[in-house]
Amino acid sequence: MRYRALGKTGIEVSEIGYGAWGIGGRQWLGADDQESLRALGRAIELGVNFIDTALAYGEGRSEQLVGKAVREAPGKVWVATKVPPKNLLWPARPGVGIDEVFPYDHIIRCTEQSLRNLGVDVIDLQQLHVWNPEWIDCDDWRRAFEDLKKSGKARAVGISINDHQPDSALEAVQTGLIDAVQVIYNIFDQSPERNLFRLTQQMGVGVLARVPLDEGGLTGTIDENTTFPKGDFRERYFRGDRKRQVAERVAALKRDLAGVEGTLAEIALRFCISHPAVSTVIPGMRRVKTVESSCSASERGPLGADVLAKLKRHAWERNFYD
């Protein structure tokens, strides 16, 4: 496992981090707590030292599992979590004020609840789970972040950017008040490269690359006949003819990747760590075999310039979250 700086925080994080949404179990059905703990333990054994969770994942279930794994780990594991929007709307809606989403007291209360769920004294990276650039000059988030750091409840702070809207965080990064951003970045959505990554590098802000496998689309296992459990998040994400669209795009992608070592998922993770702005990539990993496959991406390292040039042609701007 290789490690990178998380911006200017002084924290060194594993290139492959652990995305803990799926182990919360409410939207990704089929999660088993014991298997999740085995996966977390195996990830830590293989050098993963960064886990991203959220208070909203399973209403604290994910944080509780992460906390258990972290407390039992032989070495330091950095933990990031997130404050859910008070109005429980993902993504943030234009025109909705911060008083309805992230009032000061709500940010503090949620952080304290996350500390209890995790069973730790400090959250290494506390994030706002949605972001609206209209809030840039609002006092609530600025004061809350400052007070969380002063009180020792959070070591670093950041924001999780709305789906496929990397430029919405440019002003926040320029304030110098945040330490990291979490953004969708994968072979299909390469848009953060245009403006966001350049700015985060200039400002010394860390980057957490989320959805590196397009919610499963970049695993190469989804076709027109794939089914998901009723109520599973992916049932909606891949609704209508979206599975067909993904299968066609992936078939073209595989043709261009003929001869490149590793599975499509491993190559997709290597694509993310090929950009120097990325501090860590956080695939969801509910099973031990997924952990082992994902961690191998760091061992193989970044992709060559010839492969990256081919992958540029596979950028696909669309929003399946709508």
189-208 tens-digit pLDDT: 999 999 999 999 999 999 99
Q: Is the distance from CB of 97 to CB of 65 less than 8 angstroms?
A: no
pLDDT over 80 at 29, yes or no: no
Q: Say how far apart CA 125 and CA 9 lie, in whole Å.
A: 10
Top-confidence range, 24-33, 97-106, 223-232: 97-106
Which CATH superfamily groups domain 3-312?
NADP-dependent oxidoreductase domain (3.20.20.100)
101-137 tens-digit pLDDT: 999 999 999 999 999 999 999 999 999 999 999 999 9
pLDDT over 90 at 65, yes or no: yes
Q: Say how far apart CA 66 and CA 53 lie, in whole Å.
A: 8
pLDDT over 90 at 24, yes or no: no
pTM above 0.85, yes or no: yes
Q: Say how far apart CA 19 and CA 178 lie, in whole Å.
A: 21
Least Cα distance to 156 among 61, 50, 234, 256 occurs for 50
Work out the mean pLDDT of the chain and round it to a whole number: 96
